[in-house]
Chain A
Amino acid sequence: MIADLLNWFGDSAHWQGADGIPTRLLQHLGYTLLALAIALVIAVPLGLYVGHTGRGGVLLVGAGNTIRALPTLGLVTFLFLIFTESETATIIGLVVLAVPPILAGTYAGLQATDKGVVDAAEGVGMTGWQRLWKVEVPISLPLVLGGIRNAVLQLVATAAVAAYVGLGGLGRFLLDGLAVLDYTQVVAGAILTTLLAIVLDLILAAVQRALVPKGVRLAAAAASGKTVIVGGAA
């Protein structure tokens, strides 16, 4: 098995052309990033609005839970029958699946912001907008990023499933391999899809750590009783 895989990855024919690894990888990344961008435009403002004003929170959490139960294969096949074109159908499906985790993360981030801090911001005379941008958003960024990480995992997985309705990307290796019972290609596809998911998740995890505001980091360190070196490399 391992030798077959090494041969498969070593075969230069698998690295070029319309069904080569680079093309499939870029396609997969493209679907993921496009759907992520659209989902961010929809989910972040909505999450900020609901989290900041506190209006519609219950409705939002309920809707998010309902969509989590939505079977991805059902959604993708349903949309394909409507749009009869695999890219349009899949991108719409991917956006539908990516919005709830981002929305939940944004909302949870604002909800988790210490009410005393928000009060203090109001006390020093900040307007609603200033409070949102200068206090609530920076403090809740790590949780927002947590939601984005969940969404990206969901996107990479679903884009692979969407190969069933004819989408390009790494899912092609999996399903085309299954169709001709070429198990080496199936496993190679599985490895590539998994690597893409892991690499994207690691990048976002690093961004998430970097985005924790210095004040929040200092407060957390102080609470856990650790010595804090102010101005040092954090």
Chain B
Amino acid sequence: MDWQAIWLSLRLASATTAILLVLGVALAYWIAFSNRRWKFLVEAVVAMPLILPPTVLGFYLLLALGPRSPIGAFYARITGGMLPFSFGGLLIASVLYSLPFTVQPVAAAFAAVDRKLIEASWCLGVSRAATFRRVIVPLARAGIGAGAVLTFAHTMGEFGVVLMVGGNIAGVTRTVSISIYDQVQALDYDAAWRTSLALLAFSFAALALTYALQRGAAGKRRWGLWPAN
């Protein structure tokens, strides 16, 4: 089994989840509570990775992060490095690609929190930040947990985007799904079997955990991974 690839995927998934727990949760808060008329546009952009083929995202990212693009050139000027074929590039790609997997369950959980409790907190003079921390987050914690688990699992299984911008460098961009693909291509079916089985077990455990979390919350409050209405 390719432990180096598994370790790399675990690091990538953890970093992606950590970033999205900040960015994604902030965005989810805005989506759940904003009254802007153009909110639907933001929601559409956030959900796009769900329906766009990874090849589209990978193709654009390769061009956008490459040395000929302004973003790539700027990055090269300040760091001296390059985003494609690097862990940083994969991290940017994963954050974009997994965005809806954090934002949607968390926004649904935020929206399901009883408005009366939030308003009562505000009326008692508790600031918005403290209300968020002490009322909204505790009531939506199962949804946040579900978002984190889904994001982590989705990044572990990411393939197309990594294939297109990664360059398959051992220990840097060769994730577990790429490693399995290589094993199949090289006709090493035994190794592919072992790694695939490990990933299958992992995915099942992650999803079982997600649904168990939901079940724990269901006694008090009913909502799904995705907005129910």
A binds B: no
Q: Write the residues of chain A forming the contact surface with B, with a CB cutoff of 8 angstroms.
A: none
